Amino acid sequence: MEGFTYWDYRYTELLLQCWNTQEHGDDLYDLIHNQCDLLKVLIPNISAEEKDSVNRDKAVNEIKEYVSMHMQRTNPKLTELADRFNLQAHHIKIVEFLYIYGSMNAFTAYFEKQSAACQLVILTTWVHISKNELVAELRLHSPMGKLGLLEFERFALFDLRHINIRVGLNKYVHNYLEDINNRPLSSFLLHVLEPPYFALETFDLPEATILSAKAALKRHGPAFLLFYGEPGTGKSELSKALSLSCNLIPYSLMTDDVDGSRPLSNLYLSAKLLDSKKEVLIIDEADTLLNSEDVLSAQGTPSTFKAIVNQFLDNATIKIIFITNQTNRIPASVLRRMHIIIGFKPASIQYRKQMWETNNNVTNLFSSTDIDKLAKDFKANPSRIRQVYEICSLLKEDCESQERILEVAKDMLSRSQEMLMKDNQKINNKIEEIDVGLLHLSIDPYVLLDRIKKWYDTFSRTQQGLNILFYGLPGTGKSALAIHIATELQLQPIIKRASDLFSPYVGVTEDRIRDAFKEAENNVLILDEADSFILNREKNERSWERSQTNEFLNQMDDFKGLFIATTNFIKALDGASFRRFPYKVEFYPPTPDQRLTLARRYFSHITFDTEACFRIHNLEGLVPGDFSSVAKRLAFVDSPTPQEIISELELELKSRSHLQHTIGFKV
């Protein structure tokens, strides 16, 4: 009859089967009677008080005859499932039962009130298989479980505790069967990703890395790629750009509307829905799928879950790009099954500048000077840079001034950086910018900069790292110059201190040392307090101290990038480590003329007379850090006099008198 669905009749048929196998109680008869009302079939409403079981059976037989005459024998969507997933008749019957169980609340309530024995009778009679066969079909490792048709987590509504089964129909399969608009199953589970915003050639990766990834995606059969690294480093954009370059349509798994979850069952389903010749699955935030140590649930123990993931990768025939933030909890057996693994590092200043320029070619919003400063000051990822351009383009359309647009861009970047990067607005906010000409070094600072730039010009070809040692009194500008060098090279300065790396636990310090060098590869690693790690090994009485020093020296030897170590205590350094620094640069206190220039820079509103200039000339041992400290102390003093400034400088010098002897030796 028109207006009634396949499921209306199947539900009625299930109720009639229950009538044949269970006690004829009021609750079951009421369910049948209500269903007859829906189907507009008249049967008498006979209550238990009438004690007329004969009339009840007669009424039920009438509905049986009606259903037998009008029942739809096939359902196109069930036929599609059977064909696509190679399901047998009893598999389809299980799908039908779980769909009805999850859709008809009245039946669910009735079924849950039955004894365990009655529940199994209802199920086995409906599916036409034995109890043992049924239990096997509802397990995680069953054919239906491995296909993703069953769900064992959030949507596992069906609970048979006495045989340790908690299972449900996959939510998206349920929605597919429920849909009346003839949408394909893939539309419930997958969606096509937007095209990439950045071209493949704009990504800061070696050409060989890009070629290997493209080759994997173009190969016949399955391919598994793993992209890992900090959020916002371009993993998702590269995935889409690679897909486009290989003429593959990029798909992503739908996430749950409530908690954003993506059960493993959805991955199984997608493996049967995608064509490896035309499509690729991109799984962003795949940590929960691959990090098996985080799995302690109905999916199984970590070792069980690991085996499930491995088995899936062994049997899958599609192409997948997994995107994660970490890999330390991904089992080695899973990693070995990846065809390509690419690690992503925070964007260098040079790469950020390139991203700004790529956007600016279209909008022409910012000057080259603005772009240089934005790239230097803000750790913005490609996606954030694009968002800034979108907002600022709207401001330009509204005729906002260039000054106002730049102000909005900086505000957006600083707020997102503070929230997402857990950082302050400026990358180098703890280190004041310096005038290289005011540094007093054992080598002309401009000559040093020129030689480092020449090294960097050959670095992309040779991949030969460079180690530089800065040593001297505190406050002489060692860290500031190191950061200035990174900025000049348009590389990201990765700043570490001994306190960042030391750990009281055996072996952890060595791990952190390795991680620091790995993080800074192809950039600039700046290590303050380097003496803590490269002490004279002859004075290391404990084995763990020697182990840390050895690890540090090994990492220095293998490092592909610029490593700048700073220390105040040159005499404590290990001889072998000292030889590993081609450049050993001593920082001296400024010359008399430099001291006077520093005073005028820090106190530009003060006029120093001849006597004041003479006194500053004679304050031997002052360092740039002293002027900075005094300037901060006097910032809230109304109109300090030259005499007050000089007195404060003298106090600063006196407080460091125990450091005035020469540190180390000159080169």
- pLDDT of 452-469, one tens digit each? 999 998 886 788 889 999
- Domain end (from 362, 388, 422): 422
State how far the Cα of 545 lies from the Cα of 513, in Å rounded to an integer.
Answer: 13
pLDDT of amino acid 281:
96
165-169 sheet: strands from edge to edge: 150-151, 165-169, 158-160
pLDDT of amino acid 291:
74
The stretch 596-612 carries a mean pLDDT of 90
DSSP 94-159: HHHHHHHHHH-HHHHHHHHTS-HHHHHHHHHHHHTS-HHHHHHHTSTTSHHHHHT-EE-STT--EE
598 shares a domain with 547:
no
Asked if the structure places residue 102 within a domain, the reply is yes
| pLDDT at residue 293 greater than cutoff 60 | no
How many other CB atoms are found less than 10 A from the CB of residue 570?
Answer: 18
Half-sphere exposure of 380 (CA within 13 A, CB side): 30
Long-range contacts of 578-581 (CB under 8 A, 24+ apart): 578/469, 578/534, 580/467, 580/553, 580/556, 581/467, 581/468, 581/469
C-alpha closest to that of 82 among 11, 143, 153: 143
504-523 pLDDT tens trace: 777 788 888 888 888 888 88
DSSP annotation of 178: H
- Domain end (from 396, 422, 448): 422
338 shares a domain with 192:
yes
647 shares a domain with 521:
no
Asked if the structure places residue 22 within a domain, the reply is no
Element (H, E) at 320: strand 319-324
Strand duo 340-344 + 583-588: pairing? unpaired
Strand, coil or helix: 557: helix
pLDDT of amino acid 424:
37
| pLDDT at residue 421 greater than cutoff 80 | no
158 shares a domain with 75:
yes
| pLDDT at residue 176 greater than cutoff 90 | yes
pLDDT category at 422 given cuts 50, 70, 90 is: very low
Q: Say if CB 479 and CB 528 are below 8 A apart.
A: yes
| pLDDT at residue 128 greater than cutoff 50 | yes
Residue 617, amino acid: H
State how far the Cα of 224 lies from the Cα of 324, in Å rounded to an integer.
Answer: 13
Question: What are the structure tokens assigned to 562, written together?
Answer: 């610029």
143 shares a domain with 115:
yes
pLDDT category at 426 given cuts 50, 70, 90 is: very low
Strand, coil or helix: 399: coil
| pLDDT at residue 425 greater than cutoff 50 | no
Asked if the structure places residue 212 within a domain, the reply is yes
Instruction: Tell me the angle at which helices 6-21 and 89-103 cross, rounded to the nearest 10 degrees.
Output: 100
Asked if the structure places residue 430 within a domain, the reply is no
Q: Say if CB 587 and CB 477 are below 8 A apart.
A: yes
Strand, coil or helix: 280: strand
State how far the Cα of 244 lies from the Cα of 131, in Å rounded to an integer.
Answer: 50
Asked if the structure places residue 517 within a domain, the reply is yes
C-alpha closest to that of 283 among 329, 309, 320: 320
pLDDT of amino acid 226:
96
CATH number for 204:
3.40.50.300
Mean of all residue pLDDT scores within the chain: 82
pLDDT category at 665 given cuts 50, 70, 90 is: very low
pLDDT of amino acid 232:
73
583 shares a domain with 529:
yes
pLDDT category at 549 given cuts 50, 70, 90 is: confident
165 shares a domain with 79:
yes
Asked if the structure places residue 665 within a domain, the reply is no
118 shares a domain with 201:
no
| pLDDT at residue 633 greater than cutoff 60 | yes
192-201 pLDDT tens trace: 999 988 888 8
State how far the Cα of 93 lies from the Cα of 303, in Å rounded to an integer.
Answer: 32
In the chain, count H helices and then E strands: 31, 15
The stretch 227-256 carries a mean pLDDT of 89
State how far the Cα of 106 lies from the Cα of 57, in Å rounded to an integer.
Answer: 21
Asked if the structure places residue 12 within a domain, the reply is no
Top pLDDT among 1 and 609 is at 609
pLDDT of amino acid 38:
67
Strand, coil or helix: 69: helix
379 shares a domain with 263:
no
pLDDT of amino acid 553:
86
Q: Which residues are CB-neighbours of 463 under 8 A, at least 6 positions away? A: 560
206 shares a domain with 146:
no
State how far the Cα of 41 lies from the Cα of 64, in Å rounded to an integer.
Answer: 11
| pLDDT at residue 78 greater than cutoff 90 | yes
State how far the Cα of 158 lies from the Cα of 168, in Å rounded to an integer.
Answer: 6
Top pLDDT among 539 and 244 is at 244
Domain with 127 in it:
27-182
597 shares a domain with 578:
no
State how far the Cα of 568 lies from the Cα of 586, in Å rounded to an integer.
Answer: 10
217 shares a domain with 309:
yes
DSSP annotation of 641: -
For the chain, how many structural domains are there in total?
Answer: 5
Question: What are the structure tokens assigned to 250, written together?
Answer: 């990029």
State how far the Cα of 571 lies from the Cα of 556, in Å rounded to an integer.
Answer: 20
The stretch 287-304 carries a mean pLDDT of 58
pLDDT category at 444 given cuts 50, 70, 90 is: very high
- By mean pLDDT, which of 226-235, 425-434, 476-485, 532-541 is the weakest? 425-434
- By mean pLDDT, which of 557-566, 588-597, 602-611, 658-667 is the weakest? 658-667
State how far the Cα of 45 lies from the Cα of 47, in Å rounded to an integer.
Answer: 6
Question: What are the structure tokens assigned to 445, written together?
Answer: 């600072």
3-state helix, strand, coil in the chain (%, to 5): 55, 10, 35
Percentage of residues in the chain with pLDDT exceeding 70? 83
| pLDDT at residue 81 greater than cutoff 90 | yes
C-alpha closest to that of 265 among 168, 338, 336: 168
The stretch 311-327 carries a mean pLDDT of 91
Q: Cα–Cα distances in Å, from 659 out to 278, 289, 474, 606, 623?
A: 69, 56, 9, 29, 12
State how far the Cα of 7 lies from the Cα of 29, in Å rounded to an integer.
Answer: 19
The stretch 400-427 carries a mean pLDDT of 71
Question: What are the structure tokens assigned to 105, written together?
Answer: 């609340």
Asked if the structure places residue 216 within a domain, the reply is yes
State how far the Cα of 216 lies from the Cα of 221, in Å rounded to an integer.
Answer: 10
Q: Which residues are CB-neighbours of 547 under 8 A, at least 6 positions away? A: 510
| pLDDT at residue 395 greater than cutoff 80 | yes
| pLDDT at residue 434 greater than cutoff 90 | no
pTM of the model: 0.64
- Domain end (from 556, 587, 618): 587
C-alpha closest to that of 242 among 187, 318, 319: 319
The stretch 390-400 carries a mean pLDDT of 87
